[in-house]
Amino acid sequence: MATFSINLKDGTIVKPSELIVGIDLGTTNSLVAYMKDGAAHCVKSADGKSALVPSVIYFAPDHQVIVGDEAKEKLITDPGNTIFSIKRLMGKSYQDIAGHSAYFGYQIIDEDREALVKIRVKDKFYTPIELSALILQELKKRVEAELKVPVSKAVITVPAYFNDNQRQATRDAGKLAGLEVLRIVNEPTAAALAYDPAESGTIAVYDLGGGTFDVSLLQIEGGIYEVLSTNGDTFLGGDDFDKAIVEHWMTQLGIPVERLRSDKHFSQEIRLAAESAKKHLSTFDSFDAQIDDLPLALTRVEFEQLIQPLVDRTLQCCKNALKDAALGIQDIQKVVMVGGSTRVPLVKKVVSEFFKQPVFDEINPDEVVALGAAIQADILAGNQQDVLLLDVTPLSLGIETVGGLMDTIIPRNSKVPSKAGRQYTTSVDGQKNLKVAVYQGERDLVEHNRKLGEFILSNIPAMPAGMPKIDIQFILNADGILTVRARELRSGLETQVEIKPTYGITEEEMGMMLLDSIQNAQSDIAIRGLLEARNEAQNLLLSGEKFLKQHDAILSAAEISETRQLLQTLKDACAGSDKDLIHRQIEALNEYTTPLAHRAMDSAIGNAMKGKRV
């Protein structure tokens, strides 16, 4: 029940402002922030030093679950029971992360390559959702301890490229942690909000964190935040810088890569040494250390050579984002740096050179997303009504139509939330069921796109082909989660599903899907033309047969035989792949049968009029 206070001086009713916290659930670190006196604050550790809660979970021998700094220390001493980088596994199947599994110190279950990943700790299996919920619980505990009130509502940020499944998984993790997730917000959008909710212009948000890279181009005008385009890579971040250093050291010292797999203790220790080296080199020119009597050294110049290809990959994403938004570098008024890895001097230098301007880095790049999430939470609580957020969907969404063609309903880069629909019909007389298969991607044939799910609209009342009117609506909510609704308009029959894909998609795949669609555009058009011709011919063949059956009384033997002959020729043409031949046969059949159809119609009208007085 809602409670209100009444201001006895002027009689106004004051609704207590609702506390909604903002959470940055990061790959490496997570943070929670809230609004106080009109400004966003991050909850700091007990010693007041840092707001970062390492996204690391330790399962202690006494069954205690420890999250944060203390758990991070266990990465070395007890790697098998210590979980990190769980965000990389959100909504993923084993197949999706193949090739990266050696990098995780813990055990990933791979019994079914297509199933969602599970992690084994001791004798229990955990989903990434359950593990993320443990991190969220810790954040909830910290903010409650600081504010001394229970917290039950949150806004959680995700990378702009998270798909439906990954967003849904994040939402489920929140629920499991006892938090109602009011909104899933893209990280770059949150960062832009933190910089200046009231500003105007076109800005680029460059977010290089521990595990993911995102670049978003945002247009901000009159308090409206609109994401013009997004691009990124979920397997590119500071962790990869660490990995590059580890590989460099292993080669230099002649240690076989196999040792990373067989010696978990060593693998974690060298990984942490690599991270220390990287951070050290953000300020100093060289690094020296020793583990297990192994000398580890690295200079800033060497480090920069190692990571140059990785940094270059982020620039390719920037180019793609600009292209998608039809913008040039000169259109970008501000470049905002987000994520711990933007502290690397080479990253700042390269990005600044690319955009031909100095970058904005004055807000702590670790906190900026959480601070923005708190501001978004404040907007949702109704405290900042003049700010609106608009995001876009990264890939087109559509359904499969006859012949395996993709019929796009919501095109890529459409604003979310968004709703679009189209009417379809049946292709067979008396058809009772209609399968609605939902796909994501840019190619003309669904087989080249990614299937998100399917459902069946069943018990359609028996009607001739083409009679039912089936309205299919795609409703994409503000979190980017898709609901598909199918309704037969004549009977009111309705079915709907919320699409939760069986497993996730990597940004490499997403990039490949976009690239494919460009490279194969020509052949796709040719295939689409052929399939459409075949579909048209198929419909004509069906109605031609039906016409012969219904009207044989008014047709001569020669007419029946000629029509049959034309139907057969069309059927033969359909078996081949000459689209133009199919079109010619369709025309020939139409030309011959149109007068016959008119005669049939006249005769039907004549019969109906018989015996009736006018």
* Alpha-carbon gap, residue 377 to 363, rounded angstroms: 19
Task: Pick one of 26, 79, 197, 468: the residue that binds ligand AMP (CB under 6 A).
Answer: 26
C-beta separation of 541 from 567 below 8 A: yes
For the question of residue 331 being annotated catalytic, the response is no
Of 87-126, which residues contact ligand AMP (CB under 6 A)?
Answer: none
Residue 521 beta carbon to ligand AMP: minimum distance, rounded to whole angstroms: 36
Of 60-68, 272-280, 386-394, 559-567, the segment contacting ligand AMP by CB under 6 A is 272-280
* Alpha-carbon gap, residue 514 to 256, rounded angstroms: 37
- Kindly state whether residue 68 participates in binding ligand AMP, applying the rule CB under 6 A: no
* Alpha-carbon gap, residue 337 to 334, rounded angstroms: 10
Instruction: Choose, from 72, 74, 87, 140, the residue flagged as catalytic.
Output: 87
Nearer Cβ to ligand AMP (278/485): 278
Of 335-354, which residues contact ligand AMP (CB under 6 A)?
Answer: 339-341, 343-344
Q: In terms of C-beta density within 10 A (0-12 exposed, 13-18 middle, 19 or more buried), how is residue 404 classed?
A: middle
| Sign, CA torsion 553/559/561/563 | negative
Residue 64 beta carbon to ligand AMP: minimum distance, rounded to whole angstroms: 25
* Alpha-carbon gap, residue 375 to 506, rounded angstroms: 29
**The CA-based dihedral angle spanning residues 576, 579, 584, 585, taken in that order and rounded to the nearest 10 degrees:** 40
For the question of residue 292 being annotated catalytic, the response is no
Of 276-295, which residues contact ligand AMP (CB under 6 A)?
Answer: 278-279, 282
Residue 291 beta carbon to ligand AMP: minimum distance, rounded to whole angstroms: 17
- Kindly state whether residue 209 participates in binding ligand AMP, applying the rule CB under 6 A: yes
Residue 276 beta carbon to ligand AMP: minimum distance, rounded to whole angstroms: 9
Instruction: Choose, from 187, 275, 367, 479, the residue flagged as catalytic.
Output: 187
Nearer Cβ to ligand AMP (279/469): 279
Nearer Cβ to ligand AMP (318/567): 318
With b for 16 or more beta-carbon neighbours within 10 A and e for fewer, the 439-457 pattern comes to: bbbbbbbbebbbebbebeb
Instruction: Choose, from 78, 207, 233, 239, the residue flagged as catalytic.
Output: 207
Tokens for 47, please give them.
């010693």
Return left, alpha or beta for 21; rule: phi > 0 is left, psi -120 to 50 is alpha, else beta: beta
Nearer Cβ to ligand AMP (187/324): 187
Nearer Cβ to ligand AMP (28/563): 28
Nearer Cβ to ligand AMP (340/372): 340
Angle between helices 264-280 and 238-253 (to 10 degrees): 110
Task: Pick one of 27, 267, 414, 449: the residue that binds ligand AMP (CB under 6 A).
Answer: 27
Per-residue interface string for the shown chain with ligand AMP, residues 290-329, x marking contact by CB under 6 A: ----------------------------------------
* Alpha-carbon gap, residue 521 to 88, rounded angstroms: 32
* Alpha-carbon gap, residue 287 to 242, rounded angstroms: 14
For the question of residue 87 being annotated catalytic, the response is yes
Residue 339 beta carbon to ligand AMP: minimum distance, rounded to whole angstroms: 4
Number of residues that bind ligand AMP (CB under 6 A): 19
Angle between helices 264-280 and 69-77 (to 10 degrees): 130
Residue 179 beta carbon to ligand AMP: minimum distance, rounded to whole angstroms: 21
For the question of residue 508 being annotated catalytic, the response is no
C-beta separation of 539 from 427 below 8 A: yes
The residue whose two tokens read 């599994």 is 101
* Alpha-carbon gap, residue 496 to 343, rounded angstroms: 47
Of 22-30, 293-301, 472-480, 569-577, the segment contacting ligand AMP by CB under 6 A is 22-30
* Alpha-carbon gap, residue 231 to 394, rounded angstroms: 8
Residue 345 beta carbon to ligand AMP: minimum distance, rounded to whole angstroms: 9
Residue 278 beta carbon to ligand AMP: minimum distance, rounded to whole angstroms: 5
Residue 346 beta carbon to ligand AMP: minimum distance, rounded to whole angstroms: 10
- Kindly state whether residue 28 participates in binding ligand AMP, applying the rule CB under 6 A: yes
Bridge partners for 476 per DSSP: 418, 482
Task: Pick one of 29, 132, 189, 426: the residue that binds ligand AMP (CB under 6 A).
Answer: 29
Per-residue interface string for the shown chain with ligand AMP, residues 210-249, x marking contact by CB under 6 A: x--------------------------xxx----------
Instruction: Give the angle subtended at the CA of 66 by the CAs of 170 and 268, to the nearest 5°.
Output: 90
Least Cα distance to 160 among 328, 395, 371 occurs for 395
Instruction: Give the angle subtended at the CA of 435 by the CAs of 431 and 438, to the nearest 5°.
Output: 155
Instruction: Choose, from 24, 164, 172, 361, the residue flagged as catalytic.
Output: 24
In angstroms, what CA-CA distances link 180 with 152, 174, 193, 428?
Answer: 6, 7, 22, 46
C-beta separation of 480 from 67 below 8 A: no
Nearer Cβ to ligand AMP (26/453): 26
Least Cα distance to 26 among 67, 69, 79, 85 occurs for 85
Nearer Cβ to ligand AMP (195/503): 195
C-beta separation of 447 from 400 below 8 A: no
Residue 282 beta carbon to ligand AMP: minimum distance, rounded to whole angstroms: 3
- Kindly state whether residue 138 participates in binding ligand AMP, applying the rule CB under 6 A: no
Of 10-18, 274-282, 306-314, 568-576, the segment contacting ligand AMP by CB under 6 A is 274-282
Nearer Cβ to ligand AMP (282/538): 282
Q: List the catalytic residues.
A: 24, 87, 187, 207
Residues that bind ligand AMP (CB under 6 A): 26-29, 209-210, 237-239, 275, 278-279, 282, 339-341, 343-344, 366
